[in-house]
Homo-oligomer: A and B are copies of this chain.
Amino acid sequence: MSWTISAEQIPDLARGAAVLGTGGGGDPYIGALLATQALREHGDVTVVSLDEVPENAVVLTVAMMGAPTVMVEKLPSLDEVTAPVHALGTYLGRPVTHIACAEVGGVNSTIPIAAAAALGLPLLDADGMGRAFPELQMVLPTLYGVTASPLAFSDEKGNIGVLQTVDNSWTERIARVACVEMGCSIMISGFPMSGLQAREALVPGSLSQCVEIGRTITTARDDKADPVDRTVRLLGGRELFAGKVVDVQRATTTGFARGRARIESADASVTLSFQNEHLIAESDGTVLATTPDLIMVLDHDSGEPITTEALRYGQRVRVISAPSDERWHSAEALAMVGPGYFGYDLPAHRFDGTVDAVAAASLEGAA
């Protein structure tokens, strides 16, 4: 069922997207500004569910690539948002029919809305991850054989590039060094897909889910209820920890915001490790949850999602976890986004603390 997104829904959508963004995917305030401006200038955007998209549609993803620490300081213009879509459309030599989100996040769910508005194109109610991940190839379409390239990138100065690579990891590698050179934040458009491919490879309903999460938080506040608790129930997840942020180490290196945050309560502490997104939650040597399941930090009382670049000493927060799209738990997917890929010698721990059977088996096999 298609629906229409208007400026009024953007605050809820951006907030919900920042929850699923697991610390990455960009600041919801900036994302909301950008989408609101685009919808006011160009009118509402039609959001189409995956089962409605025509088989022969030409679908492109649009996203901001870079370190969130830099992205918060470089709000793109609408011309910048549409530039890579125009470049890629010209390169493909076919008219683009639909825009899709590569990931869910405060900025990366709203940039595609801005692009769709400015281009007058419908947007898919879907995304490539059901969460955010730091690298470009880390989308479910990669597992379905969809190529990231041709992929176009552009910056605020007017530089444009188009890549055609041998695999999606090479798209990431070349786009990443270009991104760093161009100032650590660029706009990208890629993963050209038919409607048929999009139906198979994307996560359905993500934009609707973002609005629902955002609205749940807003409504809970109005009801004087607990927004965090309602969010946890909506996501089918659990609360891992509540406490105060006492230490944040963060560096912007090789194009990513990498670091660790420690959160303490009266009698325990939790350490979160992140690369743009939260990857590992540990408490005194016990792993509570890891990528690919979702680890999120919300403000203790208001339930407002806190991105990794916004973590500050003294914040009172709650750490929650929720299941990812089940396809992320396949052996092939875990090789791409499991703890091992990010350099942690750990099997994947699900949101409920259980160890992922596939990853545990493969770690035993290797031992």
With contacts A159-B165, A164-B159 taken as known, whether A178 is within 8 angstroms of B170 at the C-beta atoms is no
- CA separation between A347 and B174, bound complex, in Å? 38
Chain B residues within 8 Å of A181, by CB: 173-174, 176-177
A94 lies within 8 A of chain B by Cβ:
no
- CA separation between A91 and B164, bound complex, in Å? 12
A224 lies within 8 A of chain B by Cβ:
no
Select the residue from A91, A160, A161, A165 with max chain B CB neighbours within 10 A.
A161
With contacts A174-B182, A177-B178, A177-B180 taken as known, whether A161 is within 8 angstroms of B164 at the C-beta atoms is yes
Q: How far is the CB of A25 from chain B (nearest CB, A)?
A: 25
Question: What 1/0 mask marks residues of chain A from 261 to 287 whose CB sits below 8 Å from any chain B CB?
Answer: 000000000000000000000000000
Would you list which residues of chain A between 118 and 169 have a CB under 8 Å from chain B? Answer: 157-166
- Chain A: residues with Cβ within 8 Å of the partner, total of 21
Q: How far is the CB of A290 from chain B (nearest CB, A)?
A: 29
- CA separation between A35 and B228, bound complex, in Å? 68
The reply to whether A159 and B174 contact each other, CB–CB distance below 8 Å, is yes
- CA separation between A189 and B182, bound complex, in Å? 21
Chain B residues within 8 Å of A166, by CB: 157-159
- CA separation between A165 and B181, bound complex, in Å? 13
- CA separation between A174 and B165, bound complex, in Å? 16
- Please tell me which one of the listed residues B91, B159, B164 contacts residue A170 in the complex, with CB atoms under 8 A apart: B159
- CA separation between A176 and B174, bound complex, in Å? 11
- CA separation between A158 and B176, bound complex, in Å? 18
Chain B residues within 8 Å of A162, by CB: 91, 161-162
Would you list which residues of chain A between 90 and 124 have a CB under 8 Å from chain B? Answer: 91
Chain B residues within 8 Å of A91, by CB: 91, 162
Closest residue to A182 on the B side, CB-wise?
A: B174
Would you list which residues of chain A between 177 and 214 have a CB under 8 Å from chain B? Answer: 177-178, 180-182
Chain B residues within 8 Å of A182, by CB: 174
- CA separation between A91 and B91, bound complex, in Å? 7
Closest residue to A151 on the B side, CB-wise?
A: B161
- CA separation between A262 and B296, bound complex, in Å? 59
The reply to whether A163 and B170 contact each other, CB–CB distance below 8 Å, is no
- CA separation between A174 and B181, bound complex, in Å? 7
Closest residue to A181 on the B side, CB-wise?
A: B177
Q: Which A residues are within 8 Å of any B CB, using their own CB?
A: 87, 91, 157-166, 170, 173-174, 176-178, 180-182
Write 13 A-B pairs (CB below 8 A) sorted by A numbering.
A87-B164, A91-B162, A157-B166, A159-B166, A159-B174, A160-B164, A161-B174, A162-B162, A174-B178, A176-B181, A177-B178, A177-B180, A177-B181
